[in-house]
A and B are shown apart, each in its own frame.
Chain A
Amino acid sequence: MLTTFQSLMIIIVIALVTLFTRAIPFLIFSGQGETPKYVVYIGKVLPAAVIGMLIIYCVKNVSLTKLPYGIPEAISIITVASLHIWKRNNLISILGGTVTYMILIQFVF
């Protein structure tokens, strides 16, 4: 096992680098003046694309060629989306989808 000092150093380094990756855009574009029009534009269109990407990120390890072929994930995602279009209530959609998923992987597949 590492010494306390070594362990602390690792945590501090990870903390600083993580903060740096989060701060890069602000370091570049945070002048006192107006935000460049391009950055304002990107700020409007990027979130929808990134959320789409995060959904794919969440299911990246699902195999379509091996049992259960991603069926639990597909059913649960459709459940979440349908519940949400129907009720427009964040909690109902998320709890409904999560419970569906847990039942599917624990008892069905």
Chain B
Amino acid sequence: MNEKMKALKAAFPYTIPVMLGYLFIGIAFGVLFENKGYNFLWAVLMSTLVYAGSMQYVAVNLFTGSISLISVVFITFMVNIRHVFYGLSMVDKFKKMGKFKFYMIFSLTDETYSLLCLTDVPKDVNHNLFLFFIAILNQSYWIIGSLIGSVAGSLITFNSEGIDFAMTALFVVIFVEQWLSAKSHIPAVTGILISLICLITFGSSSFLLPSMIIILLVLTLLRKKLDVKINTEIKEQNDNDLEDKHEKKAREEYLEC
């Protein structure tokens, strides 16, 4: 099978939960934007160029003429500042992605980031193509959703209240997946606890930034402790690889005899 088709087929099932969520919130965005007097061309343009879920919801209210471009810059920066932290954990991964790198950075949304964190990338597919298809499939759902929303939003009568829980469920699945495969649970527990404390302290509209800064600080302080754990993991893997090689060599020698 063609390498590209193979990677696409492998990537698609992983993106289905995002498809459910993105179609839904994309449709909702399209409806909102349409109600402000911006037709489907605008919605598609925005979903193609901006591609940021929560920011596009915020943006709908910026097309009033009473807000300066400088304010738009500031608001966008504050809403999207969390993306800095996603990139921080992808620097090494994207470095090896060559021509895909720019698109991977551009399309690093919450959901794409979380799928890229998945530990079990299928072994027999092209790694870079697999990650690229996850990213581009996700954006296509988002664009299609906003298109449907602006063209046919008013026709949807099915009670879809709560369907956006698919996003929460996706994060829970990835959390469990990482929990089951992690050597140390300290990072996961750190993330949950600090965010909860910050949510209680700073309130729901402004807890994200302090959470991220404190998480980063705590993980930095724990480096000595955690680095040892992670490195023993890597060493064990290398040992396994080495054993595999020895076995293979032994088998080859046996066959030659």
Contacts and interface: CB of A to CB of B under 8 A. Distances in A.
Interface of A: 1-2, 6-7, 9-15, 17-26, 29-30, 35, 38-61, 73, 76-77, 80-81, 84-85, 90-91, 93-94, 97-98, 101-102, 104-106
A102 B163 contact: yes
Interface of B: 13-14, 16-17, 20, 37-38, 42, 45-46, 49-52, 55, 59, 62-65, 69, 72-73, 76-77, 80-81, 83-95, 101, 105-106, 108, 110, 113-114, 117, 159-163, 165-180, 182, 186-192, 194-196, 199, 204, 207-208, 211-212, 215-216, 219-220, 222-223, 226-227, 230
Given A35-B95, A46-B89, A98-B166, 18 more contacts: A11-B46, A14-B72, A23-B105, A24-B84, A25-B84, A26-B91, A39-B88, A46-B88, A46-B215, A48-B187, A48-B191, A55-B172, A56-B196, A58-B168, A60-B204, A77-B169, A85-B180, A98-B169
B223 A41 contact: yes
B91 A29 contact: yes
* Minimum-distance CB pairs A-B, first 7: A52-B191, A49-B191, A25-B87, A56-B195, A58-B168, A102-B162, A17-B76
A105 B180 contact: no
B253 to A, nearest CB: 37
Contact of A51 (B65, B114, B165, B211): B114
Nearest to B51: A18
A81 B11 CA distance: 22
A3 B199 CA distance: 40
